[in-house]
Amino acid sequence: MRFRISVSATLVVALTFLGHLIYGAKRDDLSLAFSIAWLIALPLMLTQEWARKSLDRTPLIWPGASFALVILAGIASLTPLFEPHPIWSLVPGAIKTVTIDPYATWLNLFKLLGLAAAFLVGAGFGGDEERAKQLIRTILLAGLAYGIWAFLSQEMDRDTLFGQTRVWSPDRLSGSLTSANTAATLFGALTVLNLADLLRRFDQQRGRRTGRLQWRHLEAILQTIWLPLLGITVSVACLVLTVSRSGMAATVAGIVLFLGIRAVVSAKTGAWVAPLMGTLVVVLGLLIGFVALNLSALDERVAGLGDDAHTRATIFAAHWAAFLASPWQGFGLGTFAQINAMYVNDANRDSLYDITATYDVYLHWLEEAGLVGTIPMFATVLVVAVRIARGVVERQRSRLSLLGILCVLALFLIHGATDYPFEIPSMSLFLSLLLGVGYRMAKR
């Protein structure tokens, strides 16, 4: 089998997975550095004629307009134009602003620009079907290598990572992302993308077949699909070892959504039954096998479900109260830590004292950005998702790749309701890159 991978795709994917390796670039200085790196990568890519032509033909008016409203809302929170937060009345001579931490808000605005740059880089690749597939193929190869490393690293030494003591759930696989739940989102996304690649290769090989099914046809199919099948095996193994209940549930939801939509859009051709059933058998077999090998760890996680549900309910109650205190303006982008400190009391201290996110992307945005910033942000995501969904219906050649990206977005949104993958910079950049590819590929 021949692998065609471009230098530009390799560099972009290397930047993406470097962020995963450096603890998800979660620290402020690292997140700022990666935002700058993507803002540099965009003009470098635009030195290529193919990238300029692709972006020239990308319909950016609607997503660009809604995203601009998000940025404007963030900038407005740094001024005294709207009702400032009362906390500034306690600081003599301070500029009274909506945000309670202007530095954090500036940092998060810069991170949003980094996400926009990653999206546009992806759109640059998406203008050519072969380049888009090369980028996705490179992501899957990097994901396979990362998964093998994460698996071996976890099994060989659960106490240290890169020579440092693991301080986060050493018995659960987290790779280098500091959270097993975040790792579950990544490996779930890689599972869905590998599934899309497997079916795409299967369809291509089946289309070349002539006459009755023979052993040589099966041999050719196995030679074609072995790499995505290996990718699925590794990513599912890593996913199960994260022991993330919501991560596994979100992945299953993404797979079901993928297979269901594929069945519907392919029903006219009658070509979906064999690959659908074959893939279901493979995926379910892998899940059952890996779950069976980790029943004790899963039992412990299930046993703790009640306590975790109570903790999450306490967190949501406190931060919903924070949203209601300033529903339109919010407290400013990046101010979660300050908001959390303001709402800690004797009753909820055990649940709130050491958290770094609300475990709900929707509530997180509402309390930080208010309705003024949250509505245009999710409108941006909706516009992109609708364009990709239209591409799934209209673009037969790119259908499976587009559907895979769409279902990865669904996986993030589902898992984001109970965890914080969006708050990890390398994960949000990874998703933005994929969405850019899908958004451009969806346009004829």
Measured CA distances, 390 to 226, 254, 310, 430 (Å): 30, 18, 40, 22
352 pLDDT higher than 80: yes
319: part of which helix (H) or strand (E)? helix 305-325
Residue from 196, 146, 184 nearest 437 by CA? 196
> Is the model's pLDDT at 356 over the cut of 90?
no
Q: Can you read off the two tokens belonging to residue 41?
A: 């990568």
Residue 266 in 3-state DSSP?
coil
Instruction: Name every residue whose Cβ is closer than 8 Å to that of residue 398 and which is 6 or more positions away in sequence.
Output: 129, 132, 391, 441, 442
- Give per-residue pLDDT as tens, 230-254: 999 999 999 989 988 889 989 988 9
pLDDT of residue 304: 46
Report the distance separating Cα 188 and Cα 235, nearest Å: 7
Q: How far is CA 382 from CA 64, 121, 124, 141, 352, in A?
A: 12, 19, 20, 29, 31
The dihedrals phi and psi of 417, each to the nearest 5 degrees, come to -75, -20
CA triple 149-196-359, angle to 5 deg = 65
At 135 the pLDDT is 96
Q: Which residues contact 281 (CB under 8 A, 6 or more apart)?
A: none
* pLDDT of 1: 45
Give the C-alpha separation, 384 to 36, whole Å: 24
Between 95 and 295, the more confident residue is 95
- pTM for the whole thing? 0.90
Residue 429 backbone phi and psi in degrees, to 5: -70, -40
In the chain, % of residues over pLDDT 90: 60
Is residue 298 scored above 70 in pLDDT? no
Distances 405 to 25, 104, 426 between C-alpha atoms, Å = 23, 31, 17
pLDDT digits (tens, 9 = 90+) for 407-420: 999 999 999 998 88
**What pLDDT digit, counting tens, does each position of 305-334 carry?**
556 677 888 999 999 999 999 999 999 999
Q: Please say if the pLDDT value at position 272 is more than 90.
A: no
Mean pLDDT rounded to a whole number for the chain: 86
Domain ranges in the chain? 7-176+301-441
Q: Quote the pLDDT of residue 6.
A: 81
Assigned token pair, 218: 């099966």
The DSSP H or E segment spanning 93 is: none
Mean per-residue pLDDT, 82-91: 76
Q: Which two tokens stand for residue 438?
A: 């899908």
Does position 133 have pLDDT exceeding 70, yes or no? yes
> Hunting for tokens 């022991």 — which residue is that?
243
Question: What are the residues facing 164 on neighbouring strands?
Answer: 161
